[in-house]
Amino acid sequence: MKRSRLLFLFLFACLLLVACGERPETPAETASPAETDPAEGPDVPTGFYELSKQDYLDKTAAGYVSKLVSFTTDYKFVWNKDGTPRIALPDEWYRVCAGSDTPNNPYHQKVAKLFYNEQEKLYELWIADAFGIDILDQYILRDMFEKYGTVTTKTITEDWVKYDVYDMGGGQRSVGAYALAKNKNYVSPFLGRAEYGNRYPWCEEPWIENNTLGMVAAGMPNVALDLSSVFTPVTGDSDNVPWGDFIIAMYSMAYFESDIPTLIRRSALVFPEDSWQRKIVEMSFDLYRKYPDDWRAAIIEAEKTCTRRGYYYHTDRALHEQGRVDINMAFSLLALLYGNGDFLATSRIFSLSGYDARGVMFLPVLGIVGGLSSLPEEAHEKIWQDGKGYIVNKPVEETKNNTGLWMCHLGNPERYYLSGLMEMFRENFEKLLLAAGGRIEGDTYYIPKTALRVADTLKLADPDFESGSLGAWTVKGDAKLTSYAYFGDGALQVNGVGEGTSEAYTTLTGLTPGKTYRASFYAIATQETTALIFARADGAQAMQHVSVSGQSEFVRRELVFTAKGETMEFGMMLRDEPAYRYAILDDILVERIFEETPEGIGEISFSVKTAEDGAASGLIRVKIEGSREGEEVFLKVNFANPGSTIVDAAVSVNSNSFGAVPFYKTGDAGREGSRDYVYIPVVLRRESNTVDLDFGNASILFYGAEVVTVKDRLLVCE
């Protein structure tokens, strides 16, 4: 859960850059040490952007139409005869709205989806993953507000099933997000996690299917990022998710910023300073400077340098080498830079770059900036069609009977009219605008200006183990670098030593004592092995930790811990494990967060039956005094699951079914300092609420529960 899902706790949006730093203290803030941390509270608007309803609809329509233009213009997944990806395609291939997904393309034909309807004298575009889930997101947002008056993950599970989603990885019917929603009733973000059965958590969906969420947060990139935190993890848990943040924020900013390099650099602030994603952005700028007049040379070099080895590309989960997110992002950023705001020049490079570098991700930025009048003639003739254009929501002929890629929403009408979709965007935008502290006066939107907020991340020494040594780590027992990494060429492997502890740890610096931090990472533990990922005071025995147990494939895990000093030791250990057992740790990120009991929540009590060994089975009832209207909160359950399988709990709130959540395997239970937990998203509307966790015949060890909100501690970009 990268960012807060509690949209209404924040005011939003800023287009200021230069530097990031904590908000300066005011005299009131320095007067008392009991005052709220300055980065914790809502942002105060410094003013308002003004945008007419007509301009909002024009820019939003142009942005969405640009997505469809690029889809029908681009070439995807072109291969050389020797089986390698073909890139930097010939100029003669480029024709607007006549790419590989249109009929009779002489160069590279995929599944044709743009047809002329002779009876209606209109072009019709048949639905695809690149723009279909964007539509679904608008339906989900509408339903969230209608049912709950707030953004809640429960609606995502309900609506993916209700609208009967067929998609690529996300809508895969047996092992994708849809399957977990339909068959398991899991709420997000569990739908996108590899650990809980999603076989496509690395796939492109998070960064190609949710981009237009930035359009319902026009000029409010912080709102856009909060929306991203709800929608992008539905289908992924890898590096595909933060790239979704990047693109969605860029769409939001484009309503009031037209300079392309500025948009790229501002959006890149969502990434940690030393992250691989930030490096890709800088490498793209470097290549642009190196080859100022030769985009093909830049593309060719980017394919070799802007990539790192990925675990999922070396397993049976890999679908396409050309779906690699880092190469696709480098190609796309280069197209933006070389196009320099010119729609056709940018579209041309998107179309001819290769891989899956579709302009559906970034060409909408130019549409938002310029509006409908800036789009080429073909966009009006074949897509917008004076507002009469539509998308056919059923499988094309080639994909019927599951013979191809079936992507549609069978629970929705068979046509999505673009003019109607724009009205849905507008309605959702207005709800989010008012919730953010904006206002509507006549035909004018007043959008609050606040500072762009980015996560407060610690700078770590070698967090992805790519230095080639363990020089930043202290080893006790047996540990080494391994090439079996989640990403890149290196990861930490800790081996068992029989009796006793084997561990490796590094020192975290820059902590604030007493404050809360979240460490996220990917890990594997061999069969019957339990690894503890821990944080502890320097030299101490006591520690805070979570478990990774018996995981043959990498899982994403988080440790929320309290800083015991300005420095702490962070690492991984195995206790009393045989020498042939081991665990692997990779890609560590540590962020400062706020996890606290929200205002209005009172006493919490539990009703639970436990066996002699302390296991809780059947029904656990949590009674919560107090309410929290207008936002989703989390019931945080501290637990252990020493069994050999994941245990699911059916969740009911005030006797109404709310979905299901999985409790992962923890191995040996009952260790002091355990922080294994599950966040259960709930909406508490009554003055006295009950949340029931029904485990059926299964059981866990239940250590207690609390109601919390979780927010990133954010640095302010000024």
Q: β-pairing, 516-537 with 568-575?
A: antiparallel
**Residues 469, 471, 474, CA angle at the centre, nearest 5°?**
120
Q: If DSSP codes are grouped into helix, strand and coil, which group holds residue 475? A: strand
pLDDT of residue 200: 87
Distance CA 203, CA 325 (A): 9
pLDDT tens-digit profile of 364-391? 999 999 999 999 999 999 999 999 999 9
The answer as to CATH 1.10.4080.10 being correct for domain 7-455 is: yes
In the chain, the amino acid numbered 546 is V
Q: Hey, which bits of 250-400 come out as E strands?
A: 390-392
The DSSP string of 364-431 is HHHHHHH-GGGS-HHHIIIIIGGGT-EEE-S--GGGGGGTS---EETTS-SEEEHHHHHHHHHHHHHH
Same CATH fold assignment for domains 474-596 and 601-710: yes
Is residue 20 predicted with pLDDT exceeding 60? no
Rounded mean pLDDT, 678-690 = 93
Is residue 304 predicted with pLDDT exceeding 60? yes
**Taking all residues of the chain, what is their mean pLDDT, rounded to a whole number?**
89
Domain boundaries, the chain: 7-455, 474-596, 601-710
Q: If DSSP codes are grouped into helix, strand and coil, which group holds residue 263? A: helix
Share of the chain above pLDDT 90, in %: 75
* Closest by CA position to 250, among listed 213, 276, 214: 214
pLDDT tens-digit profile of 126-146? 999 889 999 999 999 999 999
Rounded mean pLDDT, 397-422 = 87
Q: What is the band of 19 on the pLDDT scale with cuts at 50, 70, 90? A: very low
Is residue 36 predicted with pLDDT exceeding 80? no
The answer as to CATH 2.60.40.1580 being correct for domain 474-596 is: no
Is residue 26 predicted with pLDDT exceeding 60? no
pLDDT tens-digit profile of 92-113? 999 999 999 999 999 998 889 9
Q: How many CB atoms lie within 10 A of CB 74?
A: 24
Question: What is the 3 state secondary structure string of 36-88?
Answer: CCCCCCCCCCCEEEEEEHHHHHHHHHHHHHHHHHHHHHCCCCCECCCCCECEC
Q: If DSSP codes are grouped into helix, strand and coil, which group holds residue 623? A: strand
CATH number of 601-710: 2.60.120.260
